[in-house]
Amino acid sequence: MNAPQNTGNENIPAHVAIIMDGNGRWATARGLSRTEGHRKGAEAARHVVEAAGELGIRYLTLFAFSSENWNRPADEVNDLMNLLRYYLKKETAELHKNGARIKVIGDRSALPIDIVKLIENAENLTRDNAKITVVLALNYGGRQDIIFAAKELARQVRADETDLATVNENSFSRYMMTGDIPDPDLMIRTSGESRISNFLLWQMAYAELYFTDTLWPDFSKKDLKDAVAHFSGRDRRFGGLSQSHEIQG
């Protein structure tokens, strides 16, 4: 488990991860296509990235496309890929201008070649930015991430590059796709669903979970601030005693 990073304000989570759920239901309720819902969801993502930077959140991970999303209708998957192209082309320069670093996690081998190139360009352009790191989870699955890490560790042990006896939680975390960033402090899921859907399974061992009925396209800067305020009132014990219990003895 990667150690939490001090933001200078202990009431603000260093890393917020979001499952952006509800685009389709938002569109259906308005008699619109699911594609229109995804477009509106992309707009919500833009506003939330801005709000995260304003709040002093250092890392924001957005679950944009899961490894299971390939099972959706082909037309919807194509629309999602086109929206991803548009987002990477349109938003990369703006994020760079605002000091954001872009990082993408997930299996890129199944993504269209032109999208992989757009990802590489975005990461290379913004690699030295430090205000906020925006992590896009694309073709990502938590179990897949753990298997990837285990295979890489096994390869290094077999090649005598790593001593198996020295492996612990902290060292294993470095093999994860998020190995260079702290684990999430807060996970938000929109649309009323109360599950984590194979998202950052290892990394969220001690994350605070926040579920809201708000559909993702309606999720605003105020909604993010409300989630952070809720986080601020949590007693994070990491398996130990609460601070109030320690004070009382």
Catalytic residue numbers, as ranges: 21, 69
Taking alpha carbons only, the member of 86, 90, 28, 20 closest to residue 48 is: 20
Residues in the chain: 249
Here the tokens at position 47 are 């506003």
Helix pair 34-55, 74-97: axis angle to 10 deg? 30
For the chain, the straight-line distance linking the first and the last C-alpha, in angstroms and rounded, comes to 29
> Residue 170, Cα to own-chain centre: how many angstroms?
20
Distance CA 203, CA 180 (A): 12
Here the tokens at position 191 are 């649309």
Distance CA 19, CA 207 (A): 14
Here the tokens at position 122 are 């975005």
Q: What is the DSSP letter of 58?
A: S
Helix (H) or strand (E) holding 89: helix 74-97
Amino acid at 160: D
